[in-house]
Each structure stands twice: as C-alpha cells, then as structure tokens.
A and B are shown apart, each in its own frame.
Chain A
Amino acid sequence: MDQVAASVMVDQPTHTITLTVNKITYELKVLPWVTLLDAIREYIELPGTKKGCDHGQCGACTVLVNGKRINSCLTLAVMKNGADITTIEGVAEDGVLHPLQQAFIDHDAFQCGYCTPGQICSAIGLINEGKATTREEIQELMSGNLCRCGAYPNIVAAVQQVNGKL
C-alpha cells in the first residue's frame, strides 16, 4: 500500500482513508474539504484528470467511481473512502491504448487536449451504461463534457467507433 502524506496543519480534523486508483490502493490523510479531484491530482499525483470549472459545469474532471462516471470536483475524498477509481492514467492496459484512446487518435478528436481525459472517461461510462445507440443519443449522453476547441463532431465519431464493441 502506498502512503501519501497530505500537508496537514496542527489541530485539523484529518481523516485517514483508502482509495484504490487504477488498481493501486493508496492510504491518504485528508482534511474533509479536499475534493476527490484535488486528492487525485495533488496527493496521489495523477494530473491526467483535469480541473476546468471546479463547479460541475464542464466534465473535465470526470473519473469512474466503481465503474460509474462522475464529476470528481463535486465530491469529497472522505466520501469516497474505499472506492475503486479509474482515471485516464488507468484505462490503457499492458501498454496498449484503450480502444477509445485509439479512436480519439483515429478521428482527430481533440485540439488542445484539455477536455480529452474527461471525454474518454465519460465515454467509457456511457458505454458501460449501454443507453446510447444512435448518434443523437451519444450527443445527448456526452453533453456533460464541454470542449472549448469544438472538436464535438470528431469526439462523437470516436465514441461511435467503439460504442457497442467493448
């Protein structure tokens, strides 16, 4: 188990929690107001998950918690004690890109790339949910991820390439 020490001020109500992120279990000492996003980026030092708005409005911070996509900026790390989390760093296996990562390359589905980790984690969640088949349904169920570069048509094409085939 990896030990991650968060900077702790004296007399602060720290909580000791464990988070399994990309199959590695970390023990963290966190203050209650540390969001899951900050725990992942700052304490576990996996900066692939991005902070866009920090208010649930953009989807850049999307990760999978127990297989479900959520906005990590609007939950607290303490609330996720014991959870199994997958971030963009954990989607490739044995050095082989996840089919969605490959599809994003095939379809040129990003420009700056800032939204991409969230887009890919969200698309994995969408495919797990199994509710989208048509292009319109994919558009609607990917609407929680904004792309300020406007790569939307290519993102939808990338998701379509993989949807139903995992």
Chain B
Amino acid sequence: MNNFTYTQADGVDNAVQEIAGHSEARFIAGGTNLIDLMKEHVMQPEHLIDINSIHLNSIEFLEDGRLHLGALVTNADTAWHPAVEKHYPLLSDAILAGASPQLRNMATNGGNLMQRTRCYYFYDTTTPCNKREPGAGCSAMNGYNRIHAILGTSPHCIAVHPSDMCVALRALDATIQVKGLHGERLIPIADFHRLPGDTPQLDNNLAHDELITGIILPREHFTQHYKYLKVRDRASYAFALVSVAVVATMEEGIITNIRMAMGGVAHKPWRDENAEQWLKGKPATQENFAYAADMILQDAKTFGTNDFKPALAKRAIVRACREATNIG
C-alpha cells in the first residue's frame, strides 16, 4: 500500500465537507474492496475518511411503507434483517450468493454499490487499461475475457460490474440516496451505474464530493414469485459468470408483471424493458421465456473467451423465470 493519512468522520456533513476539500481522498467503509485495490496499487488515495462512525447503520420503514437501508449496514445484517427477509427475499438471496460470510460481515451497502470491476487487467498495473488510465488501451478486448461483458460494451472497455446485490436492487427498482455539499439527491438504480462509453474510468454517476447515505426499496414486495440465479465457476465464493434476478406477479398462469435484471453481462446491472413488456399478459411457459431471452441477448457481442456467455445467459434467464413462476 502507498502511504496515506487517515481521519474518522463523525457525521454526514462532516464527511462530505472533508471529501470535497481533497480530490485525492476516498471514503472507507468495510474496506473489502478499497484495501484490496490499494494493496495492488490500483487505487492510491492520499487520504482515507473512515465513515464507520456515521450513524447510517439502521434499516427502517419510511412513513409511506418503503424500506430504507442505511449505507453503513453490513451486507450480512441486511440479508438477515427480518424486514428484508420477509418483504424482499430476492435481495437476501442475492446478497447471500456473494462473497463469503466473513466478507459480508464487513462489506457495507454503500461499498457494495461502489465496488469496482474484477477485470484481471484492471487489477494488473503492468498491463494497459482504459479504466485505470484513460487512453492507455484495453487489454481485455483481445486478451482473456472469460468474465467480461457482452451487452452495452464500448471499444474502450468491456468490464462488468461484479455485484450480486446491485442486480437484485435493479430488479426491485431501488433508489440510491446520496448527500453532497449542495444537499440531497435521489438516483434511481437504473441511472446509478454507467455504461463504459468513452469514459470507462467512471463506474457510476456519484460525484466525488457525494456520500451514499442509503438505499430505498419500493413498497412492491414480490414475495411469491422471485428468483436469484447465479452461475459461476465454483459452487460458492466466486463472482458470477452470469446472474439473473427475476421478480414477477401472476394470475392464473398469466404473467401480470415481470422484471428481469442480469449481472455478469454488462458494466451495470442489465435490464431490457421491451422483453419484460413482451412477456406481460402472456402465459408463463418455457417458449415465452426463451423468446424473451432471445430478445434480451439479440445485440450481444462477444470477444473470444466469453463466446459462451450469450447461450449461458439465455439458459439462465429461462431457468430463473421458470423457477420464479413455479413452472419448474
């Protein structure tokens, strides 16, 4: 690790003021991503602001029935919180499919949203990478890209966002609550993470001087028809090659509402509203799900070692939809 200075923030305003005054400072929460990247010299902040003493560590219902998850609540406490288990079981399942029990005891909800790609070349400072060093080139494009994106890529970067939690948040239509020097902002999860475009160095739309204070889950609960399916190279403690989060409502075998979000395929959790719209009002059948999966993957572009991904993604969508709608 490079040398850095360290302070503890005691409140949201104090944290925001401190980061605003220092362009090379970073917040540290659980540390599970940032310390790893600092040990690899991928991130070299000059100053760390520890936000663990800020009181953003509770999960509470808002007056209108939505659920507010504090940014500093750990992933483990979120997944096992009675209100999350009862009303948002998809989110519990997705969180518990990620990392390990020890890591989930440290990782926070804010840090999970902000975690960076696991692209091997991003981690290897001896290879060119546009995300680390804009303009340097992308080593993954013609390299080993088994874990890389197939949707929404750009000629500058084909990295994926590695989170499981965020895929569930996308299916649930969560809102990210952030606070900056000029007040509070609410960012729909769909607009939080970015596609790489020609600015692959930017993972998301959070400004440097903004702090994530919480995640708001809508009142719609989807407790009957939901599935988080994660496909990976080993049974546990591995990032997704492809993951699918499905929530649905059904009436007599007919899909009345459905949302499908995917991980491991793009620079952000991926959703295709056209395919969801197409499924609405149709019976939950293997054929209909396969047709929707084809729609979602129709523009997929592969890069060699990830040529297997569109087929895998389609099968994963069909299986997740079948299991969510109880057709087996």
A: residues with CB less than 8 A from B are: 12-13, 15, 31-33, 35, 54-56, 59, 62, 68-71, 74-76, 78-79, 122, 125-126, 129, 131, 139-141, 143-146
Contacts and interface: CB of A to CB of B under 8 A. Distances in A.
A33 to B, nearest CB: 4
Given A33-B4, A122-B102, 13 more contacts: A12-B3, A15-B6, A32-B5, A56-B100, A62-B102, A69-B105, A70-B102, A70-B106, A79-B28, A79-B31, A126-B101, A139-B236, A144-B101
A71 B106 contact: yes
Interface of B: 1-6, 28, 30-32, 35-36, 38-39, 48, 50, 52, 76, 80, 99-103, 105-106, 235-237
B101 A56 contact: no
Contacts of A79: 28, 31, 50, 52
Given A55-B36, A144-B101, A74 B31 contact: yes
B36 A140 contact: no
Given A69-B102, A129-B101, A56 B6 contact: no
B106 A144 contact: no
Given A54-B39, A55-B36, A79-B50, A144 B6 contact: no
A32 B48 contact: yes
Given A55-B39, A140-B236, A144-B101, A78 B106 contact: no
Contacts of B4: 32-33
A59 B100 CA distance: 9
A144 B237 contact: yes
Given A32-B48, A70-B105, A122-B102, A75 B3 contact: no
Given A122-B101, A143-B100, A33 B36 contact: no
Residue among B5, B38, B101 with the highest chain A CB neighbour number at 10 A: B101
B32 A56 contact: yes
A35 B35 contact: yes
Residue among B6, B50, B100 with the highest chain A CB neighbour number at 10 A: B100
Nearest to A65: B105
A33 B106 contact: no
A76 B31 contact: yes
A144 B2 CA distance: 27
Contacts of A12: 3
Nearest to A72: B102
Given A55-B39, A56-B36, A74-B106, A32 B101 contact: no
B45 to A, nearest CB: 11
B6 A32 contact: yes
- What 6 A-B pairs come out closest when comparing CB atoms? A144-B100, A143-B236, A32-B6, A33-B1, A143-B237, A144-B102
A92 B4 CA distance: 38
Nearest to B100: A144
15 contacts: A31-B3, A33-B1, A35-B35, A55-B39, A56-B100, A70-B102, A70-B105, A75-B31, A125-B105, A131-B80, A140-B235, A143-B101, A143-B237, A145-B100, A146-B237
Residue among A56, A78, A126, A129 with the highest chain B CB neighbour number at 10 A: A56
Contacts of A33: 1-4, 38
Residue among B39, B76, B80 with the highest chain A CB neighbour number at 10 A: B39
